[in-house]
Amino acid sequence: MAPKTLILIGGTMGVGKTTTCRELYRMFDRSLWLDGDWCWTMHPWSFSGRNRQMVMENIVFLLNNFLRNDEFEIVFFDWVLHERAIIDEVEAGLIPCDRETRRFSLICSEEELLRRMKSDHRSEEDMRRSLARLPLYAHLGTELVDTTGRTPTETAEEVRDLILQTR
């Protein structure tokens, strides 16, 4: 099996993870993309210990299946990933395989974040939580990509270029 590349893309809610990844995974042949929020799509939404465990198990299960599939070389995974413990928990559950893992965090200015979240009609509570998480990304040891004033395509191109520098 050919070596894999796993790309983790974190960022606070509203920073542009989903829109960037929607562009980014299409820039690479033989790629897959998992948005961690897809595993939280439930009604009513409930953040409980049981649901968190289920979501984490589902994410790890899907990522492992992607890594096992020899038709794909690069796997993109985006999620809030605002704590190192969450990144470590995801990685600890992955199968041992020949892979390089790259960790990126998308950031932007507070003004840009609020503008985006208001245009997406996010709640005041979501905006407050997202702003509170924004400074956490500077301390994760990930590669920081500033999305302020950039389109999703421009952000995706920067991440693509960073990935290609070491491939």
pLDDT digits (tens, 9 = 90+) for 114-165: 999 999 899 999 999 999 999 999 999 999 999 999 999 999 999 999 999 9
d(CA 83, CA 81) in angstroms, rounded, equals 6
Query: Residue 48 has what pLDDT?
Result: 86
Total domains in the chain come to 1
Task: Name the β-bridge partners of 78.
Answer: 9, 35
Tokens of 60: 């790890």
Question: In this structure, are residues 78 and 113 in contact, taking their beta carbons and an 8 Å threshold?
Answer: no
Q: What is the CA radius of gyration of the chain?
A: 16
The CATH number of the domain holding residue 25 is 3.40.50.300
d(CA 88, CA 70) in angstroms, rounded, equals 24
Query: Residue 1 has what pLDDT?
Result: 59
Query: Can you give the pTM of this predicted structure?
Result: 0.94
Q: The domain containing residue 15 runs over which residues?
A: 4-164
Q: What is the mean pLDDT of residues 46-64?
A: 93
Portion of the chain with pLDDT greater than 70, in percent: 98
d(CA 106, CA 63) in angstroms, rounded, equals 21
On the question of pLDDT at 24 being above 80, the answer is: yes
Which tens digit of pLDDT belongs to each residue from 69-83?
Answer: 999 999 999 999 999
Summary mean pLDDT of the chain? 95
Query: Residue 3 has what pLDDT?
Result: 87
On the question of pLDDT at 45 being above 80, the answer is: no
